[in-house]
């Protein structure tokens, strides 16, 4: 397998963006190997809540600390984490603003289900007033049986895997990055998928279009693949080459619960670069939505192009 370094060299990715991406990967690998794998889930909840009102788990805080620690060593002007009430200043004059969810799926991690991290990278020193289309990179890490990752720098979406066992003890420090391999350098989604990941299923009770769509998928013999973890659920679509993930809103909460800045915009970039589509329940392109405030949420339908477009047709009919 080609290494991620080989991919970056072939795509002429700038050295400072490479350095930032490897730092993010090491934050994920360190969290995965040194914290998550040994975590004592009896000691589960922190006594704080994040801005979105979620009860914050100590594991969320631990993940956040690992990412913030490594980002502070980089050319990063602004650090915007789902676990921080407001974005925090990084290095003055730093080239990049980084928005991330350090641990997505923390309500299922105690059941040892796959979880992940999600990152969006912008040039400049702000994220408010920006659109997802301004991201220069997006990353998603899956902490599952293995540590796999999906990355785009705007030249397609790659899938990769972390292979520490291939790391000889005497490897030179600068060669450590060679433990990150590329398993597919051009993830491509078919226009019609065979899998569906129906988030916020409770909405089907009040949204007739949703109940009808579910029945049609079942009748068509599509396969349900939903875990409650956005990262593995969308990672499944990347690895299988097609499918649809949705997290709709309802009349009471039209913008659903998934965060635009930390979750939806990075995944929309990754999915579009894989030939898919990512829109809101109104049919607006996720990457065209302006971030008005850090914890803004949006409904989201993403994945195989025709699957996404068919749903919007149903909602509007
Ligand atoms: P947690 O991080 O609180 O576990 O939430 C995970 C998540 O934001 C996203 O990963 C899932 O797709 C979604 O929530 C699942 O939401 P439901 O529990 O309402 O299905």
DSSP lists the bridge partners of residue 245 as: 197, 302
* Beta-bridge mates of residue 180: 162
Regarding the beta carbon of 107 and ligand 1, being less than 6 Å apart is answered yes
The tens place of each residue's pLDDT in the chain, 317 residues long, gives 899 999 999 999 999 999 999 999 999 999 999 999 988 887 655 556 666 666 778 899 999 999 999 999 999 999 999 999 999 999 999 999 999 999 999 889 989 999 999 999 999 999 999 999 999 999 999 999 999 999 999 999 999 999 988 777 888 877 889 999 999 999 999 999 999 999 999 999 999 999 999 999 999 999 999 999 999 999 999 999 999 999 999 999 999 999 999 999 999 999 999 999 999 999 999 999 999 999 999 999 999 999 999 998 888 77
Instruction: Locate the ligand 1 atom nearest the alpha carbon of residue 245 and give its number.
Output: 12
Instruction: Report how far residue 49's alpha carbon sits from residue 31's, in angstroms, rounded to the nearest whole number.
Output: 21
Beta bridge partners of 141: 117, 149
* Positions marked catalytic: 54, 60, 82-83, 101, 103-104, 263
Specify the residue with its C-alpha closest to ligand 1, atom 1: 105
Measured in angstroms, how far is the CA atom of residue 199 from the centroid of ligand 1? 8
Pairing of strands 300-303, 277-279: antiparallel
3-state SS, 159-180, equals EEEECHHHCCCCCCHHHHHHHE
Domain ranges of the chain: 2-184, 195-316
Counting ligand 1 atoms within 8 A of each CB, the residue from 46, 199, 200 with the most, and so the one to mutate, is 199
Residue from 105, 248, 259 whose mutation best tests the ligand 1 pocket (most atoms within 8 A of CB):
105
Q: What are phi and psi of 198, to 5 degrees?
A: -85, 95
In CATH terms, 195-316 corresponds, of 3.10.450.50, 3.40.1160.10, 3.30.450.20, 3.40.190.80, to 3.40.190.80
What order do you get walking across the sheet with 300-303 strand by strand? 223-224, 195-198, 244-247, 300-303, 277-279
> What is the C-alpha end-to-end distance of the chain, expressed in Å?
47
> Is-contact 115 106, C-beta < 8 A?
yes
Distance from residue 113's CA to the centre of ligand 1 (Å): 12
Residue 133: CB atoms within 10 A of its CB come to 14
Report the C-alpha gap between 308 and 132 in whole angstroms.
19
Sign of CA dihedral 215, 217, 221, 222: negative
Torsion of CA 189, 2, 235, 188, to 10 degrees: 0
Give CATH for domain 2-184.
3.30.540.10
């Amino acid at each position: 397998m080609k290494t991620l370094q080989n991919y970056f060299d072939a795509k002429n990715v700038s050295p400072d963006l490479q350095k930032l991406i490897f730092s993010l990967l090491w934050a994920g690998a360190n969290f995965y190997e040194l914290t998550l794998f040994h975590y004592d889930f009896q000691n589960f909840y922190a006594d704080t809540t994040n801005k979105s009102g979620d009860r914050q788990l100590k594991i969320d805080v631990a993940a956040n600390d690992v990412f913030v620690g490594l980002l502070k060593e980089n050319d990063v002007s602004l650090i915007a984490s789902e676990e921080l009430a407001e974005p925090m200043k990084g290095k003055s004059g730093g080239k990049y603003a980084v928005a991330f969810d350090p641990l997505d799926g923390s309500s299922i991690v105690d059941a040892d289900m796959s979880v992940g991290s999600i990152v969006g990278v912008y040039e400049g020193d702000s994220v408010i007033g920006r659109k997802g289309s301004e991201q220069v990179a997006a990353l998603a890490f899956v902490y599952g049986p293995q540590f796999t990752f999906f990355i785009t720098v705007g030249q397609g979406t790659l899938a990769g895997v972390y292979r520490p066992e291939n790391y000889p003890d005497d490897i030179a420090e600068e060669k450590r990055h060679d433990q990150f391999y590329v398993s597919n350098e051009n993830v491509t989604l078919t226009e019609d998928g065979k899998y569906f990941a129906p988030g916020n299923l409770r909405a089907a009770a009040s949204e007739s279009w949703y109940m009808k769509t579910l029945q049609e998928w079942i009748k068509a013999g599509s396969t349900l693949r939903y875990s409650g973890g956005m990262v593995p659920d969308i990672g499944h679509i990347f690895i299988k080459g097609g499918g649809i993930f949705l997290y709709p809103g309802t009349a009471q909460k039209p913008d659903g619960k998934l965060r635009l800045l930390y979750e939806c915009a990075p995944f929309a970039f990754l999915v579009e670069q894989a030939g898919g589509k990512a829109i809101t329940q109104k049919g607006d392109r996720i990457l065209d939505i302006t971030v008005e405030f850090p914890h803004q949420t949006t409904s989201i339908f993403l994945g195989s192009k025709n699957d996404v477009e068919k749903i919007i047709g149903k909602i509007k009919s």
